[in-house]
């Protein structure tokens, strides 16, 4: 296998905590790829994962270029009595220079491509989770799933996404999976030089993709992916479901993925699934952090509507005035 720039990208791996039994082969490896803006979201996702698997031994791998001391301290509070290891993998971002910036997506979406080569020293399989997700059920059926015949396991994106992206990308199977949850077969990923193939495709065509990391994965792994039930990555867009939408998820839902621009840690989110997220938020080590306040006029307008729905009329008027000021007078 050729040696590429990205193989040397991880500069330091630091153990933040480790309460795992020695040589326990039942450990489940889970990875996140984040920038500093998503550290809190990752913390809530991890908190919810541990809450629903209280006896499972996890090794958590965090891939980032920086992590604040406060977030490290909060992560250490998650250990409790559960067997848990957390390893921080820090890297320089020189390997990202040639990769495209597309739309609102930061280059941190590409961090996940470093995961297989780094986690290979610990395990032959790893779960990847986006940091805007909430675990609400049991992932254990996947812990021993036979994935020897594929590189990747993932769930399909929405019907609309499949209808749009399959013809655009030339996908023949009718599947277009969401990359916010993946179970990766590491040896098969490495044997196929998958990371370098993704990077090459992104450099050549990524600027034309709507969802760069996800589109590249779907093109390259269309015939090497096992499509899992939607319950493992249930897609929910807060904005698309209006200001105060009561949305029912299927009873067997394992994870809710809050896609779209509005996240449940934004004060201008709303609806019962946002409130569900906040239930976990308030129990977590990140509970002392305030929700993000609106910065742009569209966010201010939505926040005014949220306040109105909550019958906080004075606050609603305040934010509507701010919306008008920022839209028409700035």
pLDDT in tens, 219-258: 999 999 999 999 999 999 998 876 677 888 999 999 999 9
What span, in angstroms and rounded, lies between the C-alpha atoms of 330 and 321?
A: 13
Query: pLDDT band at residue 50, thresholds of 50, 70 and 90?
Result: very high
Residues facing residue 139 across a β-bridge: none
Quick one: tokens of 179? 């990359």
Identify the helix (H) or strand (E) that includes residue 269: none
pLDDT of residue 192: 95
> Looking at the predicted structure, is the pLDDT value of residue 3 above 50?
no
Query: What is the tens place of the pLDDT at every residue in 263-283?
Result: 999 999 988 999 999 999 999
Tell me what the pLDDT averaged over the chain comes to. Answer: 91
Give the position of tokens 């090794």: 59
User: Where in the chain are all domains bearing CATH 3.90.550.10?
Assistant: 5-234
5-234 CATH fold: Spore Coat Polysaccharide Biosynthesis Protein SpsA; Chain A (3.90.550)
* Length of the chain measured in residues: 330
- Residue 239, CB-side half-sphere exposure with 13 Å CA sphere: 10
DSSP designation for 21? P
Question: What pTM was estimated for this model as a whole?
Answer: 0.92
Backbone angles phi, psi at 183, to 5 degrees: -110, 115
């Amino acid at each position: 296998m050729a040696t590429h720039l990205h193989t040397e990208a991880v500069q330091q791996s630091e153990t933040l905590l480790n309460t795992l039994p020695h040589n326990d082969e039942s450990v489940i490896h889970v990875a996140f790829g984040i920038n500093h803006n998503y550290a809190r979201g990752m913390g809530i996702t991890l908190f919810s994962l541990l809450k629903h698997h209280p006896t499972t031994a996890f090794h958590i791998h965090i891939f980032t270029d920086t992590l604040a001391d406060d977030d490290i301290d909060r992560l250490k509070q998650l250990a409790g009595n559960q067997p848990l290891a957390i390893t921080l993998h820090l890297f320089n971002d020189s390997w990202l220079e040639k990769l495209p910036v597309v739309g609102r997506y930061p280059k941190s979406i590409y961090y996940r491509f470093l995961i297989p080569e780094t986690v290979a020293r610990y395990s032959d399989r790893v779960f990847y989770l986006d940091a805007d997700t909430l675990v609400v059920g049991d992932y254990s059926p996947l812990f021993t799933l036979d994935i020897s015949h594929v590189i990747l396991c993932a769930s399909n994106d929405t019907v609309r996404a499949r209808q749009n992206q399959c013809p655009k990308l030339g996908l023949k199977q009718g599947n277009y999976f969401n990359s916010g949850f993946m179970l990766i077969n590491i040896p098969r990923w490495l044997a196929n030089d998958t990371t370098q193939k993704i990077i090459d495709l992104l450099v050549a065509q990524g600027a034309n993709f709507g969802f760069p990391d996800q589109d590249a994965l779907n093109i390259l792994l269309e015939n090497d992916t096992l499509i899992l039930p939607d319950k493992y990555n249930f897609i929910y867009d807060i904005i698309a479901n209006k200001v105060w939408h009561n949305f029912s998820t299927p009873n067997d839902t394992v994870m809710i993925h809050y896609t779209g621009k509005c996240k449940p840690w934004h004060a201008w989110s709303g609806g019962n699934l946002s409130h569900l997220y906040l239930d976990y938020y308030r129990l977590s080590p990140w509970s002392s952090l305030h929700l993000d306040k609106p910065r742009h006029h569209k966010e201010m307008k939505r926040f005014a509507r949220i306040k109105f729905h909550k019958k906080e009329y004075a606050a609603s008027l305040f934010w509507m005035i701010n919306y008008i000021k920022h839209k028409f007078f700035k």
